[in-house]
Structure 1
Amino acid sequence: MGFCELRTEVDNDSEFSKRRQVELARFLLRLGYDTVAFNVSATGLLKPHHRCQISICDMKDILSPQDASNPPLRVDSRPVMQQLLRMTVTVDDISHLHMVDVSNEIASGYHLLAVCPLTDKVFEQCCKFSKVDIISLDLANRLAFPIKAIDRGVFFEITYGPCLRDAGARRQLFSNAMELVRATRGRNLIISSQAERAMELRSPHDVISMSEMLGLGQGGRGKLCLDANASKLLAQARKRRRKSGHATVTSTSKVDPRERWSIPGGGEEERARGGGEKQDFISLALESDESDSDKVEGNEEELEAANVPEQTAESTVEEKGEGTDKGRTEEKSSSLSQEKMEISPAVKASDRKRPLEQSTGGGPKKDKKKRR
């Protein structure tokens, strides 16, 4: 996946916002972005009028007349731009946070769901238990709570659009962004524009240069905020919206364009497999044949029967070896006993002579007694 712009501001009105969507998507395509998310903002509790009323633009409308008339840039050969619908809810009361959930009926109409906490309690609740895709802090204003170290896999967003409108917001943005980078250690961060007009958009390389001043350094982490981290965020959002326990076999041509984003590849795999024709995705479970299993069992029995004589021969050899070892040990023990029998009388005689010599005082005294 290429560069992603995951927040461009539009109104929740299908007629008025359509022209703005086309304008923003057209300019982002020229800048080199592959993915765009149109954001609708809400505050407090979600109500029925917050339901998604905007739709995805047609690529024929996004491409300018010059691009559509140019053969190398016609719609069929031009890569399709991924369009997403997003909702950002600003919450200042912790009791309103239970409505900000991807499983909510009102929020389920959007591809991405973000929350903007305004208090410390709401921020802690979002970091620990909230079921949202993005936590977007109001970095253009002074934060009412400190940003603590975060170890949970939550994605945070830095928006540079407000700093282009006000110099005071620019100073506050750089200060808060550096604090957020220190708290998150530069992980799970994305950078978005929050642009209301096309003139507020910046190219990916300009955003990467700006990220160096936000504390991300020159190690390439600024680029990760636009491509790798964004693609990881979208993959996580797809998993949250999938229901486990069932499988569906269908053709992507029948899928609603708003739901094709959840299909990896977006239909490109179908064209590659079918040579341009769309096919259905079918998963098959391979099972082994009974004949093959019978053959394997028969071969195992033959091998066991062939190994039996070898084992018996080895056992007889071992028995013979044990017999010879026993004979040798018996011969050694008998020879040792004979040596003991030969040595013991001499030892006893010598032991008897020593006390006599000590008592009589030696040999000369015996000679004197005999002479007398």
Structure 2
Amino acid sequence: MFYDLNVEIAQKNQRQTLEVLKHYGYSVVALNHTARGGIPSNLVSTVIHVFKKTLTPSQSDKASNLGLTSLSPTSYDLLAVKPTNEATLLKACTDLEVDIISFDCSSRLGFWLKHSLFSAAIQRGLHFEITYGAGVRDQAARRHLFTNAQALIRATRGKHLIISSEAQKALEVKGPYDVINLGTLFGLNQAVARSTLTSNCRAVIFHSDARRTAYKSVITVKSGQIDESDELAVNGSGKRIASDAGGHKTAKKARRTR
């Protein structure tokens, strides 16, 4: 199952674009909406599984939430943020409750991509998006696309990456195997390049579902009654204390079973 998690919502021939995506073999698509108000509640498609996604560009270094407080999280299936400087990238990687960190790959990034920072985001389950649509439209943007994609791959060690079209019209959509080949040109091996359209995208949706439905949940387990004859205790030295048949406690080394 192939995914494209970034298709522009503001386009005249949206139905045609979705039909082309289906023809190419994509099963799941996220329609991208830049957050400047509400998203249409009647946005549906009968040809492909459509998610709603918001892309929120950062406004300033001092913005503590990058504009996310103005959103209703339940109105969107996926949340993404596009940092424009190092301060907002730090905020996105370490603090923001989003699913995707995207980058404007069509122009030169004005900040360094540090492995330590991306590792923190990976530990939180976030994914990083490379978009190729601008590279289809413009030759100069294509050069920046390759430079930025390779820098992102180095910073992430090839982990937690997704590749999306950011298509503004049907002609900008590429087939999944063409995108996989593009990923290998960026420097990924074939298997990892394929995961940017499949398993990694699926992980993004699972992360979104957990963020929206299981936030700060707590599970409690009730312990059962232990018979005195089967009393067990574990002390700090890693030894197991058990009662023998005569009621006397004997120390036995705890053994790990494989």
Distance 1:58 1:175, change over 3 A: closer
Q: Do the aligned partners of 2:14 and 2:169 also contact (CA within 8 Å) in 1?
A: no
Distance 1:167 1:245, change over 3 A: closer
Q: Do the aligned partners of 1:4 and 1:35 also contact (CA within 8 Å) in 2?
A: yes
Residue 235 of structure 1 pairs with residue 235 of structure 2: no
Distance 1:179 1:99, change over 3 A: closer
Q: Normalising by the residue count of structure 2, what TM-score does the alignment of the two structures yield?
A: 0.77
Secondary structure at the aligned position of 1:83 is classed as strand
Indicate the residue corresponding to 1:24 in structure 2. Answer: 17
Indicate the residue corresponding to 1:39 in structure 2. Answer: 32
Q: Do the aligned partners of 1:155 and 1:188 also contact (CA within 8 Å) in 2?
A: yes
Indicate the residue corresponding to 2:38 in structure 1. Answer: 51
Secondary structure at the aligned position of 2:62 is classed as helix
Indicate the residue corresponding to 2:9 in structure 1. Answer: 10
Indicate the residue corresponding to 2:195 in structure 1. Answer: 224
Per the TM alignment, residue 99 of structure 1 is displaced from its structure 2 partner at its CA by 5.1
Q: Do the aligned partners of 1:181 and 1:215 also contact (CA within 8 Å) in 2?
A: yes
Rounded Cα–Cα distance in structure 1 between residues aligned with 2:93 and 2:201: 18
Q: Residues 261-289 of structure 1, C-alpha deviation per residue, up to 9 Å, x if partnerless?
A: xxxxxxxxxxxxxxxxxxxxxxxxxxxxx
Indicate the residue corresponding to 2:148 in structure 1. Answer: 176
Secondary structure at the aligned position of 1:135 is classed as strand
Q: Do the aligned partners of 1:100 and 1:132 also contact (CA within 8 Å) in 2?
A: no
Per the TM alignment, residue 106 of structure 1 is displaced from its structure 2 partner at its CA by 3.1
Residue 93 of structure 1 pairs with residue 92 of structure 2: no
Indicate the residue corresponding to 1:165 in structure 2. Answer: 137
**Equivalent position amino acid for 2:193 in 1:** G
Rounded Cα–Cα distance in structure 1 between residues aligned with 2:28 and 2:184: 23
Secondary structure at the aligned position of 1:96 is classed as coil
Indicate the residue corresponding to 1:144 in structure 2. Answer: 110
Relative to total residues, which structure has the larger strand share, 1 or 2?
Answer: 2
Q: Do the aligned partners of 1:40 and 1:86 also contact (CA within 8 Å) in 2?
A: yes
Q: Normalising by the residue count of structure 1, what TM-score does the alignment of the two structures yield?
A: 0.54
**Equivalent position amino acid for 1:121 in 2:** A
Q: Residues 187-225 of structure 1, C-alpha deviation per residue, up to 9 Å, x if partnerless?
A: 00000000000110011000001111111133x111000
Distance 1:125 1:82, change over 3 A: same
Aligned residues: 216
Relative to total residues, which structure has the larger helix share, 1 or 2?
Answer: 1
Secondary structure at the aligned position of 1:108 is classed as helix
Per the TM alignment, residue 94 of structure 1 is displaced from its structure 2 partner at its CA by 3.0
**Equivalent position amino acid for 2:133 in 1:** G
**Equivalent position amino acid for 1:110 in 2:** Y
> Which aligned runs of 4 or more in structure 1 are off by greater than 2 angstroms?
54-58, 94-97, 103-108, 243-246
Rounded Cα–Cα distance in structure 1 between residues aligned with 2:113 and 2:129: 13
Residue 203 of structure 1 pairs with residue 175 of structure 2: yes
Task: Using CA pairs under 8 Å that are at least 6 residues apart, name the structure with larger relative contact order, 1 or 2.
Answer: 2
Rounded Cα–Cα distance in structure 2 between residues aligned with 1:113 and 1:85: 9
User: Which has the greater radius of gyration?
Assistant: 1
Rounded Cα–Cα distance in structure 1 between residues aligned with 2:101 and 2:90: 11
Q: Do the aligned partners of 1:91 and 1:97 also contact (CA within 8 Å) in 2?
A: no
Indicate the residue corresponding to 2:162 in structure 1. Answer: 190
Rounded Cα–Cα distance in structure 1 between residues aligned with 2:66 and 2:72: 9
Task: State the Cα RMSD in Å.
Answer: 2.5
Secondary structure at the aligned position of 2:181 is classed as helix
Residue pairs, 1:216-295, within 5 angstroms = 216-218=188-190, 220-243=191-214
Distance 1:146 1:221, change over 3 A: same
Secondary structure at the aligned position of 1:209 is classed as helix
Distance 1:209 1:123, change over 3 A: same
